[in-house]
Amino acid sequence: MEASKLRPGAVFKMEGKTWQVLEYEYVQNDRRKFIRVKIKDLSSGVSHEQRFNGTEYFEDAQLTNRNMQFSYNVDNIYTFMDPNTFDQMDVNFDLVKSAMQYHTEGNTYVFTMLDDKIISVTPPTFVVLTVTDTERSVAGDTARNAMKSATLESGLTIKVPMFVSNGDKLRIDTRDGTYVERA
């Protein structure tokens, strides 16, 4: 893969390590042209900025995705199962913490893997969660786009419109943790 083809999300190998592009910027000034990227070492998680000329070449890194369902947890170890092969995989809570904020029974998570090592765990794009605690709406609280806090069954707290009440089922966008609509 040429440096000029790098884009956010691309994964490549350089200096014996596997890197993921977080940010990409093409810079051209009077004297030279170069590509400035912010990259993350997938083995250590360390990020830094790097400059490349457009003709540098890198080896592609092949990622695989695997669908998994949550089975159970013991302390900080979460066990997931492949619904097709029934293989089980134990994962440390630190790796799944952000995905588990959106957990409901039956969710299928996408495990992105590099050389059988889990790089990331992604929840479904949209989930339906029940409101467990929110303030009551009061007549007259109808300012334009008025929002209030609501705690969902998974423990996640988000901003919702004033008409939402306890027990309502809401569709949540897991990419940014925002309310989409009543379900």
Write out pLDDT tens, residues 106-147.
889 999 888 778 888 889 989 999 999 988 876 665 666 788
Q: Mark whether 151 and 166 lie in a shared domain.
A: yes
Confidence of residue 68 (pLDDT cuts 50, 70, 90): very high
Highest-scoring range by mean pLDDT, 10-19, 41-50, 74-83, 135-144:
74-83
Which of 122, 140, 162 terminates a domain? The answer is 122
Model-level pTM? Answer: 0.70
Domain that holds residue 140: 126-182
- Identify the three-state secondary structure at position 93: helix
Q: Mark whether 51 and 91 lie in a shared domain.
A: no
Cα–Cα distances in Å, from 13 out to 62, 131, 146, 147?
10, 44, 48, 45
Q: Mark whether 80 and 103 lie in a shared domain.
A: yes
Q: Mark whether 133 and 115 lie in a shared domain.
A: no
Which of 60, 75, 109 terminates a domain? The answer is 60
Count the domains in the chain: 3
pLDDT tens column, 17-30:
888 888 888 888 77
Q: Mark whether 151 and 106 lie in a shared domain.
A: no
Which of 31, 60, 89 terminates a domain? The answer is 60
Q: Mark whether 88 and 39 lie in a shared domain.
A: no
Helices (H), 20-122: 93-100
